A and B are shown apart, each in its own frame.
Chain A
Amino acid sequence: MFSASATKWGKQSVGTYKTSDFRKGLKVQIDGEPYLMIEMNFVKPGKGNALYKCKLKNLLRGTVLDRTYKGGDSLESADVEEIDVQYLYRQQDTFVFMDNKTYEQYELSSDQVDDSWKYLKEGMGCSMMLFNDNPIILSPPNHVELKVEYCEPGAKGDTATNVTKPVKVETGAEIICPSFINMGNVIKVDTRTGQYVERVST
């Protein structure tokens, strides 16, 4: 994740949600930043005012906010959209993607791409979240296959998976692999954890 100033994305109101609309999965805007309602509990003392206890995840920072609202309150909706994109190329600190439907191009800084650069191969399909039409989060597929470009040779006959070593893959990233992996092998990596999953081909 990266941080953005509250005003960077502007305040583009696209409507409001009343407490009666509150539910898990709602995308709302607080102080100009987009949040996902990840939990919503309706509590109400029999004769008292209804309270809506929410957990809200900041889509820019990943932090979680506890907020309680009372009946009649409202929240601004956030213009958040998820699109399928293709990774085109990198130009210094800028990564360029293309919307698969509209062919519109989006640029993300290396800060925004964060650790995902490790898995990006040209032409790869990813999903991207837009807030007020600006890209905010890039998600590569959960699993990607990467070719090993360089590694120290493994000890002969060592097939144990608990002996590991770092290898350099085609994107330039280092991945920790079992020692039997050799140069030219293709490995599968879980992009959510950054961990080696299996050898795909030798």
Chain B
Amino acid sequence: MAAESGEFHPSASWEVLHLRARLLRRIRRFFEDREFLEVETPLLSADTVIDRHLDPIPVTLFADPRQMAAGSRRWLQTSPEFAMKRLLAAGAPSIYQITRAFRGGEVGRLHNPEFTIVEWYGVEDGMQQGMQLLSELAEVLFQHGPAERISYAAAFERWLGIDPHGADGPKLAVVAERQGIAVPDSLPMEDRDGWLDLLLVECIEPHLGFESPVILYDYPATQAALARLRGDRTPVAERFELYFRGIELANGYHELMDPDELRCRNQQINRLRHTDGKPLLPESSRLLAAMEHGLPPCTGVALGFDRSVMLVCGAKELSEVIAFPSEIA
């Protein structure tokens, strides 16, 4: 990919770039038909989603162009979630947006640090309605029927014969060893979520979505992010993900509404980021103010548009569907 100074051509073909445009139109029509309002929110914000494994890219808004390093900190958004929820709290109907999201350090066959995200919120929707809408969109995009739904627990039971909500780290480590997968030496035995992620990536994802798209739902409570928890004895997160042909495409939540719970999760995540040696992210945000005011019950989903284009045209990597991926941007 090494570009000579004269090289300027896109890495995606014109055929694919036309397909991108058609799919964008199809998505807009999908949401217009369902009376979702298209909105736009800032790419640069003082707030950012606090996730252990998502790293927002910082930007300095300088006042003096002669001193570009001095100014107030903004973050390129890893998703438009916070701002869209502020709109919801301020009285928006169901909304959608097609925009750019930025995630630092993510480069690979299926990752580009800047990508196109489709994000929507169905007001009053629970997780079932949220999954139904996602399934309909997957049907429109991939034309491979509605999505099959499998719970996270059922998937682990089916492909690994274990209960992901009950098994502890050492138990999961034994399963990983039995499966013969390469395990990072640095993965601590007690990092249950780390082991679950490893098993999901190596042993489950490769099976998902070959007949039809698949929605995995009811994630471990420790991976709730901004989803609500359900159930008392073994609470699960009302979170769901869409897979097609083994590739993760979308992530949805029956959205957490409780600001105190969000504060608590933010603190927890920042503690984990600290142990990972990563900078802490700002915990107070205008989203918390919006949640204090009241977020309507809703379900929100974010879909990776570039990966979707890949799967529609059978491309093997993102550089075939993005005009100028980061190496040549």
B276 contact set on A, CB distance < 8 A: 71-72
Q: How many angstroms from the CA of A51 to the CA of B248 in the assembled complex?
A: 15
Whether A142 sits at the interface, judged by CB under 8 Å, is no
Q: How many angstroms from the CA of A48 to the CA of B251 in the assembled complex?
A: 12
Contact A45/B106 with A70-B187, A72-B276 known, Cβ cut-off 8 Å: no
Chain A residue at minimum C-beta to C-beta distance from B205: A45
Produce 1/0 per residue, A69-86, CB < 8 A to B. Answer: 111110000000000000
**Which of B165-173, B190-198, B289-297 makes up part of the contact surface?**
B190-198
Other-chain contact of B108, A41, A45, A48, A70 (Cβ < 8 Å): A41
Produce 1/0 per residue, A52-75, CB < 8 A to B. Answer: 010000000000001111111100
Whether A44 sits at the interface, judged by CB under 8 Å, is yes
Contact A42/B106 with A48-B201, A72-B277 known, Cβ cut-off 8 Å: yes
Q: How many angstroms from the CA of A43 to the CA of B206 in the assembled complex?
A: 12
Whether B233 sits at the interface, judged by CB under 8 Å, is no
Contact B109 A41 (CB under 8 A): yes
Whether A49 sits at the interface, judged by CB under 8 Å, is yes
Contact B105 A20 (CB under 8 A): yes
Tally of contacts, chain A with chain B, CB under 8 A: 71
Contact A44/B111 with A69-B186, A72-B277 known, Cβ cut-off 8 Å: yes
B105 contact set on A, CB distance < 8 A: 20, 50, 71
Please tell me the number of chain A residues within 8 Å of chain B, measured between CB atoms: 21
Contact B184 A51 (CB under 8 A): yes
Whether B268 sits at the interface, judged by CB under 8 Å, is no
Whether A47 sits at the interface, judged by CB under 8 Å, is yes
Min Cβ gap B190→A in Å is 14
B186 contact set on A, CB distance < 8 A: 69-70, 72-73
Contact B184 A73 (CB under 8 A): yes
A46 contact set on B, CB distance < 8 A: 241, 248, 251
Contact A48/B200 with A41-B108, A43-B108, A53-B182 known, Cβ cut-off 8 Å: yes
Q: How many angstroms from the CA of A50 to the CA of B133 in the assembled complex?
A: 29
Contact A43/B201 with A50-B105, A68-B181, A68-B184 known, Cβ cut-off 8 Å: yes
Q: How many angstroms from the CA of A71 to the CA of B277 in the assembled complex?
A: 11
Q: Which residues of A does B touch, CB under 8 Å?
A: 20, 41-51, 53, 66-73
Closest 10 CB pairs of A and B: A42-B108, A48-B197, A68-B182, A70-B184, A66-B182, A46-B251, A45-B197, A73-B186, A49-B53, A68-B184
Q: Which residues of B does A touch, CB under 8 Å?
A: 51-54, 105-111, 181-187, 193-194, 197-198, 200-201, 205, 223, 225, 241, 248, 251, 276-277
